[in-house]
Structure 1
């Protein structure tokens, strides 16, 4: 571990723990690792939903409510706490987010019914929302001068990569390890403890300034000059995040109920095929022109979801997996290009508000359709619900392509 000692600390005889700080490169790597840990923890319960259903006998509606309550907490944290670290510093907000995540993981460990599961998921949403904006800002603060695009790349790649790691890791533990509803949370608790130590040792990268209380008032708005460009991005944002919501909430259930794949590792792999492919795609396409990446995103979300739908209709696992990979490329390309476009369009004083709008749209699309799908799956069945949901995503993908073509014209 690389550490530095500040002369002021040495002169005042401050305790060693306060004098030692991680060097900027090590702190950057630590922040990236904490980012992965938070996003992995957010997707870890997905392969367990089927297990919880078997243990406690709740419906698909309840399952999607458990999923959605996490997003409610996350959106609230994004809107209320998103700018707080600009005023009080990165370290205090990260420390609080890690502490709240630890409480949520302890609740997951103790959960014996849906009520405790709901509470754990809600607190996890708040912790994740507070952490994501702060971690992203800290990466920009610590971005090495010789690689000016590194923070942006990490911010694009880490979320889908973490989602993939969390779902696949949980699926493997549930299938092959003891204590399926406990072991993964114990491991994540260890990861969060390591994250707390890293935050204790990292340097503060944001100067304290007044206005912390005022920053808690949500501000949503799109400058008039940017509305056309932002509205053109809405279909691709909604299509990609709605598809992600389907996979994280009902994906493992579809693997069991539609394709007959009862292996829990497969349940985790369903999410990993979408999100892991998305992470790789974001990395590979990072240097491509943004308009081209947006076209790729719309085309592959549409084609990939259509191929997956063909797999659902025919019961073909190969078609379902192939379509998921294609849609995953579109998923990653959409995240890279849509938020990259917003960053290019907005001035420095507009970015916070504009990203809050985009993230709110994204997470509403992530949760609300999934809850409606849960209601439909209970009344109409999982198979027809999956078919209709997929058709909606295909239509949104086509609308995204049309919107981008009209915008360029």
Structure 2
């Protein structure tokens, strides 16, 4: 027994030394990758992830992952108190899951990756929650008391790193900016389910792509997908102005084409050298019909149970801010089938320099499925490129049976 305790103490000492060494070498823009590799190796785990807590949004944001990089690409956020990481954040207690399933986790990536067991701990600095650190294995595992102590030690040491605190502030500032431009949450709407993803490629964490959804006084639901040309903060600022303007015009116009005509004038006058594409949908109060107008934007796809996934057959008018002001923009009304899902997206999901855009659209149609809004988003993002060339935004709206 004494020998076993000494061996355990020695392993913990080596683990502490190795984490200290890894932390002392942190120089990269993302200071966590090297430490996560160290934690994964010493705990013999397949994955290691750090999620940052954004207190204002009440969400956990995956900001570093090893063995589970899909979590970063999918643009997933975990609500405080929900699922595995959310419960760790709320309870501020270490939690173990020996058999991962949809009942105890809400992040679909964990299930899709095939994780069987999880061990997670809160990261706390000066009594404030910074985030959650967790590891996972692809085979079922009963984590030992030593494993628990190792992960808690890593979380404690992580919380002491000043660079992490600076990094956390930077990421939360970016998250706050992003949240002011892209809704952190989607409205709860009777008869519908909504889900979305947003993955910018610029280091600033924001870009010109946007989505939006908002109930209108008439009972209709407004749904928007747009893309302002350019990248980074300047494109994001222009995007924010366009998003706010379209919300205002939606209150004045009962027709999506009319609202986009007003927005076209706004872009012409205020954005000068920029143009944008935009798709504006209005879903009827009984949810059976959709009015759609497209200003140069890619046509949405429709997933309906018992039918092939297909592109919607709608006219596409010129983008906003190009050429002469268009007063003859068109909108069409289409049926929204029961249990159907409409999927709107930006070109980052389908456009590649080395292939025609039709190839990317065919890939999107193949990846989409007649499922819930969340399920469709997960399936599409799972097939998305690991190194996107442009911002990616995705919004799915499912009509409940």
TM-score by length of 2: 0.25
Choose between structure 1 and 2 for higher RCO, CA contacts under 8 A separated by at least 6 residues.
Answer: 1
Compare CA radii of gyration and give the structure with the larger one. 2
